[in-house]
Amino acid sequence: MDITFRDVGYTYQKGTPFESKALYDIQLSIKDGSYTAIVGHTGSGKSTILQHLNALRKPTEGSVQIGDRTITPTTDNKNLKGLRKKVGIVFQFPEAQLFEETVGKDIAFGPKNFGVGEAEAEAITKRILPLVGLDETFLDRSPFDLSGGQMRRVAIAGVLALEPEVLVLDEPTAGLDPQGRKDIMDVFYRLHKDQGLTIVLVTHQMDDVADYADHMIVLESGTVKKEGHPREIFQQAEWLESKQLGVPAAVKFANTIQKKFGWEFKQLPLTTDELAKEIAVFMKTHKQKGSKGRAEGDSL
């Protein structure tokens, strides 16, 4: 399901003295089956955009096309439920949304709201739990007895249980330990690869962008500044630094050795794996060229 923004603008508290404009002329499209990362400084309008993706907010100007529905400023608030089932959102610190007595009931809550029967909701719950790394012993426990990381998994499971076509993630790993972060990011990536789930990730972690995303949108003060493949955008390291966004660790390191030793990588490595490969290739070709390359290699 494609999501397209056309000339979208959004003003908070429109018509009051506290009016403030959060989005200007947003043009962007999220292709079906893509893994899109939205990055930007705090207050650049990321979260506002995110709430447009399933019509929690309606644009005050322009239109948002979600699948075959078009949301305009005058769209009626009714009959949006269908959209919300197709676009699942995992909000920041989603553990705050848990409320049922048991984990099982909480995960089944979403599907039941969309009219799924009791038995099927239970089946979905049992199918989703292992995806987020929990087992069936958790089903009858109270969500409030769990650790923070486990609560996060249950909350994410609650959104995955909607079986959305587009999954929107607002900093899903904020406040988690490194292993927990990797686990959860891998879950999303598997869903993306195996089931063709479209993913929209809002994050400050450039390493996550480099590791997973195939499309990247850079926002600044309410407008889209750049859009494209992460490899193209991370080429402009200085531009990103000037926007206080930074680049992934691998890109940073690659740039440093490029400058220091005058190396020239064939393509900019985004991840540590790519970086290691590039270095290996470089060393090999230089060894064949003779002593000059070796000298440089030694001084590394």
Partner 1 sequence: MMEKLIFGRYIPGDSFVHRLDPRTKLLGAISFIVIIFLANNWLTYGVLALFTLLAIYLSGIDRNFFVNGVRPLIWLILFTVVLQVLFTGGETVYVDWGPLVISKEGLINGVYIFVRFILIIFMSTLLTLTTMPLSLTDAIEFLLRPFAAMKMPVHEIALMLSIALRFVPTLMDETEKIMNAQRARGIDFGQGNVFEQMKSIVPLLIPLFVSSFNRAEELATAMEARGYKGGEGRSRYRQLLWTQKDTLVMVSFGLLAVMLYILKA
* Separation CA 195–CA 47 (nearest Å): 26
CB of 14 to partner 1, least distance (A): 9
If the CB atoms of residues 46 and 85 are measured against partner 1, the closer one turns out to be 85
Residues in CB range of 13: below 8 A, 6 or more apart? 19, 20
Write the CA distances from 186 to 18, 78, 87, 276, 290, integer angstroms. Answer: 42, 36, 20, 21, 42
If the CB atoms of residues 51 and 236 are measured against partner 1, the closer one turns out to be 51
SS3 of residue 94 by DSSP? helix
If the CB atoms of residues 11 and 271 are measured against partner 1, the closer one turns out to be 11
Give the chain's end-to-end CA distance (angstroms, integer).
Answer: 48
* Separation CA 269–CA 58 (nearest Å): 39
CB of 47 to partner 1, least distance (A): 10
Residues in CB range of 253: below 8 A, 6 or more apart? 275
* Separation CA 231–CA 9 (nearest Å): 28
Pairing of strands 3-12, 69-71: unpaired
If the CB atoms of residues 144 and 261 are measured against partner 1, the closer one turns out to be 144
Residues that bind partner 1 (CB under 8 A): 12-13, 16-18, 51, 54, 56, 78, 81, 84-85, 87-89, 91-92, 94, 96-99, 109-110, 113-114, 144, 158-159, 162
If the CB atoms of residues 113 and 256 are measured against partner 1, the closer one turns out to be 113
